[in-house]
Structure 1
Amino acid sequence: MGIDSVASDEAREARGVVSKSINEPTSSASGLELSDIKISDLKVSDLKWMQRALELAAQAEAHGEVPVGAVIVRNDTVIAEGWNQPIGCHDPTAHAEIMALRKAGKAEQNYRLSDTTLYVTLEPCVMCAGAIIHARIKRVVYGATDPRVGAAGSAFSLLGNGQDSEKFNHIVSVEGGVLAETCSTQLRQFFKARR
């Protein structure tokens, strides 16, 4: 990932965690230099792994599935990846997150995936949130919100510090809106083409 990628519009729109500094702006092709922005909470690696999740979402789309991709990472190393496959697998549970969790469990020989981060292009649903909690995922980073069934605060509050999460034995840290516009556009274009 190059510096230009970090300073792109997508990086700046990532849920407001990237903000312009008080320095005088310098000129560049994008109009903003890396020295003109600061990254708080959001890590450069979050952008890299969300970009990978977007690539996986494109694979789902190429197979006629809703374009959602997921990557599970520990210490900046991929443990497993997945993309939406409910249509092809004839399985309503074959969401991107579940596919990645299944592969990660096999790779780790353990269903508990402590100290991992799951990157996903769409806010996890209730089913996926339950699996994420059981897997003891430390952190979830998602792109687009899902106001109908999102379980990280949009429709339900099962992940993060939401009202329902305090009832669970494991709290998952959540960072939403990373490359949200790109993730949302990918989904919108998919559904527009299907109509």
Structure 2
Amino acid sequence: MNEDIYFLKLAIENSRKSMNEGNFPAGAIVVNDDKVLSSDISSPFPNLFHADSKAVSSAFKKYGVLTGAVLYIGLQPCLMCTGVAYWAGIRRIVYAIPKSKVSGDYYETANDTDELFKTFNEQIEFVHISELEQEAIKVIMDWEAKNSNDTNQTTSA
């Protein structure tokens, strides 16, 4: 669990970096055997590449199938990014903020996708590290304050 906290903090630091560069505040790290394989931030809007998809794609391109790798991301991943991780071979995803704690506008559906993920041929272990939730939410709230023109971007936390 200590390595989960360490690597998740790195992902949250990437989220702040992404925000500081004017992008959506998401950052991701792909790790295998305590080695960072890739690290990334969100792309500028309207680019569809989220931080987690970018990090997974980069690691996959360099190392091939990511069996045994772990994806660390501040926000619970969306359906698209979960699919990218799945097809790259990742079966463990660690995050700080569950989908239910942020605006539904941040995701493609308000529906609970957990039931859909249970139907995958191989299960993905999703790990919520609640002790880092407030640290990660602070980055989201800072981003929302910076972009307060868009009133739809609010957290429920």
Do these two structures clear the TM 0.5 threshold for a shared fold by scoring above it?
Answer: yes
The 8 Å contact of residues 30 and 59 in structure 2, kept in 1 or not, is answered as yes
Residue 175 of structure 1 aligns to a residue whose secondary structure is: strand
Q: Which of 38, 47, 53 is equivalent to 1:91?
A: 47
Q: Is the 8 A contact 1:74 1:116 kept in 2?
A: yes
Structure with the higher helix share, 1 or 2: 2
Gaps of 5+ in 1: 1-42
Count of residues in Structure 1 that have an aligned counterpart in Structure 2: 142
Task: Choose from 20, 40, 57 the match for 1:102.
Answer: 57
How far does residue 177 in structure 1 lie from its aligned partner after superposition? 3.5
The AA in structure 2 aligned to 1:168 is F
Residue 155 of structure 2 corresponds to which residue in structure 1?
Answer: none
Contact 2:93 2:124 in 1 (8 A): yes
Pairwise CA distance, 1:150: 8.0
Let me know the Cα RMSD of the aligned residues. Answer: 1.8
Q: 2:117: which partner in 1?
A: 165
Match of residue 82, structure 2, among 120, 129, 142:
129
Runs (5+) with no aligned partner, structure 2? 149-157
1:49 aligned residue: 7
Report sequence identity in percent: 23
The 1-side partners of 2:147 and 2:118 are apart by: 39
TM-score normalised to structure 2 length:
0.82
The equivalent position to 2:127 in structure 1, one of 175, 179, 185, is: 175
Q: Out of 142, 145, 154, which is 1:189 matched to?
A: 142
Pair 1:62 & 2:44 matched: no
Which of residues 35, 44, 55 in structure 2 aligns to 1:77? Answer: 35
Cα distance in 1 for residues equivalent to 2:5 and 2:108: 21
Structure whose alpha-carbon radius of gyration is higher:
1
Q: Is residue 145–residue 177 contact of structure 1 (8 Å, CA) maintained in 2? A: no
